[in-house]
């Protein structure tokens, strides 16, 4: 029987993982500069959390969740996104009791049963941030600026952000009415999904991939914003401008999750990944904390798809600091020397050197080739004769110069 990885998943092998670690290092550093602290929540949660949080009318909840029953018959789901779990943890651990805004970040796998394609997988990874506890437009702008700064930090080119406001509850109710008046006459000509969406959540119709072109003349949500929503949206823009962050307003931008209020945005790439041009997105969720049983606290956040970043970095041939050269490769010639090399190897590793030896009983030449492949800075060569004299040869792989040192001086010679 041949085993294969599940459909829509990826293996990341050495060589690739270093590129992920590079992006993760940049993520951690940016989070530090913006004062976001890491949070780690379970990979699976009670299904209800996502039904409630992400929303019953979303594609995610309706058809994309990996759900199962545990042995106690409880309904569980592999997290399809990070926000619901973080908000659940915020409520459960009473972070709302802390004096400052909770600024949290996470990097980890998410799961959606989508049709796989380039840039779309069933297990994928998000880098996300959530700021819970403030309605200030300045923090909306911060979250947007954070995303763009991240792209700049990792060296990605051609990224931009589109912003919109989906309004507060009152504005959205007003808009839904106007949108329904526009959609109802064309109801029969729309795809099955859209016909469903009209009844459940008309806003989501605008996001339809099939009927997209039919909505060019749909009313703009921006015309339905009440004063509170409009004032907030304008202040977000003023803050972005103050930071020198370029943005475009896209009044058609709707997100695939139901929890958004007011600000919504998406990060775009010029180059595209197949048919996909979105690399991240987010927005404000002023009702979600209360929705999952917490106090009436507002929040805003965003998440970026890490696989998509990697595809773009590779496409753009971005220079990545992913080299992990070895400090020293130890070669033993003879049985006694081999035992001494084992001892020296361990001592060097304890001292902080990265060090390796041969475990395949290969000839000197093959071992030298290994040292080259591992980009070792030094090779250390020990034969039984040298061992008797208490000496060892140290060769610089860069200059190809070789010196002989006392065994006990090996570490200091390598330093």
Q: Which residues sit at the interface with ligand HAM, rule CB under 6 A?
A: 81-83, 112, 114, 120-121, 124, 126, 128, 130, 256-257, 278-283, 301-305, 307-308
Q: Is 260 helix (H, G, I), strand (E, B) or coil?
A: coil
Of residues 82 and 298, the one with the C-beta less far from ligand HAM: 82
- Specify the residue, 209 or 415, whose C-beta has the smaller distance to ligand HAM: 209
* CB of 129 vs ligand HAM, minimal distance in Å: 7
- Closer residue to ligand HAM, CB minimum distance, 265 or 378: 265
Q: Specify the residue, 175 or 265, whose C-beta has the smaller distance to ligand HAM.
A: 265
Q: How far is the CB of 231 from ligand HAM (least distance, A)?
A: 22
Phi, psi of 260 (to 5 degrees): -75, 140
Q: How far is the CB of 255 from ligand HAM (least distance, A)?
A: 6
Query: Cα–Cα distance between 161 and 372 in angstroms, integer?
Result: 45
Q: How many CB atoms lie within 10 A of CB 357?
A: 18
Q: What does the alpha-carbon distance between residue 134 and residue 289 come to, in Å, rounded to a whole number?
A: 12
Q: How far is the CB of 114 from ligand HAM (least distance, A)?
A: 5
Residues 6 or more apart from 298 whose CB is under 8 A from it?
A: 132, 133, 134, 135, 284, 285, 286, 289
Report which residue's Cβ sits closest to ligand HAM. Answer: 305
Q: Would residue 112 be called left, alpha or beta, if left means φ above 0 and alpha means ψ between -120 and 50 degrees?
A: beta
Instruction: Quote the least distance from Cβ 3 to ligand HAM, whole Å.
Output: 23
How many Cα atoms occupy the beta-carbon half-sphere of 262 within 13 Å? 27
The answer to whether residues 23 and 17 touch, using CB atoms and an 8 Å cutoff, is no
- Gyration radius of the chain over CA positions: 28
Q: Which two three-digit tokens encode residue 170? A: 């009152």
Pairing of strands 102-111, 276-284: unpaired
Which of these, 334, 351, 348, lies nearest to 379 by C-alpha position? 348
The dihedral built from the CA positions of residue 134, 135, 136 and 140, taken in this order, carries a sign that is: positive
As measured in angstroms, the least distance from the Cβ of 85 to ligand HAM is 10
Tokens of 121: 């997988």
Of the pair 6, 244, the CB lying nearest ligand HAM is at 6
Cβ distance to ligand HAM smaller for residue 103 or 120:
120
- In whole angstroms, give the CA distance from residue 319 to residue 161: 24
Q: Output the smallest distance, CB 134 to ligand HAM, in A.
A: 14
Q: How far apart are CA 62 and CA 253, in angstroms?
A: 21
Smallest separation, CB 105 to ligand HAM (Å): 10
């Amino acid at each position: 029987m041949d085993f294969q990885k599940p459909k829509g998943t990826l293996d990341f092998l050495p060589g690739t993982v270093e590129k992920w670690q590079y992006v993760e290092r940049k993520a951690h550093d940016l989070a530090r500069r913006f004062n976001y602290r890491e949070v780690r929540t379970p990979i699976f949660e009670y299904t209800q959390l996502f039904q409630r949080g992400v929303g019953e009318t979303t594609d995610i909840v309706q058809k994309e969740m990996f759900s199962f029953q545990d042995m106690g018959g409880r309904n569980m789901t592999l997290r399809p996104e990070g926000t619901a779990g973080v908000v659940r943890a915020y409520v459960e651990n009473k972070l709302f009791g802390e004096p400052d805004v909770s600024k949290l970040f996470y990097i980890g796998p998410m799961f959606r049963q989508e049709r796989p394609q380039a840039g779309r997988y069933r297990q994928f990874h998000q880098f996300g941030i959530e700021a819970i506890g403030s309605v200030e437009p300045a923090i909306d702008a911060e979250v947007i600026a954070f995303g763009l700064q991240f792209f700049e930090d990792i060296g990605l080119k051609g990224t931009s952000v589109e912003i919109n406001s989906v309004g507060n509850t009152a504005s959205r109710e007003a808009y839904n009415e106007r949108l329904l008046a526009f959609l109802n006459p064309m109801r029969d000509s729309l795809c099955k999904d859209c016909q469903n969406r009209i009844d459940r959540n008309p806003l989501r119709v605008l996001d339809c991939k099939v009927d997209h072109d039919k909505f060019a003349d749909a009313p703009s949500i921006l015309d339905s914003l009440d004063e509170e929503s409009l004032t907030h949206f304008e202040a977000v823009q003023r803050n972005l401008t103050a930071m020198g962050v370029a943005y475009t307003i896209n009044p058609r931008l709707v997100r695939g999750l139901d929890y958004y209020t007011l600000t919504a945005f998406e990060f775009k790439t010029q180059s595209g990944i197949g048919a996909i041009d979105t690399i991240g997105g987010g927005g404000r969720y002023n009702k979600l904390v209360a929705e999952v049983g917490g106090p009436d606290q507002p929040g805003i956040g965003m998440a970026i798809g890490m696989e998509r970043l990697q595809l773009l970095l590779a496409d753009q041939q971005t220079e990545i600091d992913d080299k992990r050269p070895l400090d020293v490769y130890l070669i033993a010639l003879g049985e006694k020397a081999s035992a001494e090399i084992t001892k020296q190897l361990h001592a060097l590793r304890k001292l902080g050197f990265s060090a390796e030896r041969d475990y395949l009983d290969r000839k000197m030449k093959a071992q030298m080739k290994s040292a080259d492949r591992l980009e070792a800075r030094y090779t250390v060569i020990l034969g039984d004769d040298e061992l008797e004299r208490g000496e060892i040869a140290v060769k610089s792989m860069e200059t190809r110069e070789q010196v002989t040192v006392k065994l006990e001086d090996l570490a200091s010679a390598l330093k």
